[in-house]
Amino acid sequence: EAAVTQSPRNKVAVTGGKVTLSCNQTNNHNNMYWYRQDTGHGLRLIHYSYGAGSTEKGDIPDGYKASRPSQENFSLILELATPSQTSVYFCASGDADWGTSQNTLYFGAGTRLSVL
């Protein structure tokens, strides 16, 4: 069974509307991430979290907020959606191991968002 689950899988939103993308993980990992995937850009980090109650800015945080209310759940919030935020969004959990350089990510299946 999937350990990282995203909802919804597809979303159509209107410009200026509020969009919330949800992610749930059963890996019991401390770290969670939101990426967007666009042709020519690959995977770009929006926000990440290292535990319940924490959120940190990634490389492209403008226009996005994040919320981590529990170990299992991490949400991405678009307060005022714009057409430039049309993309595929991936959530991931990571098993970062202090003392080594390893941090393997486990991804969900993605949410395809269209902002009209």
Binding site for other proteins (CB under 8 A): 4, 31, 33, 40-43, 45, 48, 50, 56, 58, 90, 92, 94, 96-110
> 70 or 102: whose CB is closer to other proteins?
102
Would you state the structure tokens that stand for residue 70, as one six-digit string?
A: 């529990």
How far apart are CB 97 and other proteins at their closest, in Å? 7
At closest approach, how far in Å is the CB of 108 from other proteins?
Answer: 5
Query: Nearest distance from residue 55's CB to other proteins, in Å?
Result: 11
- DSSP state letters, 39-108: TTTEEEEEEEESSTT--EE-SS-TT-EEE--SSSB-EEEESS--GGG-EEEEEEEE---TTSS---EEE-
Q: Which is nearer to other proteins, 15 or 102 (CB)?
A: 102
DSSP 6: E
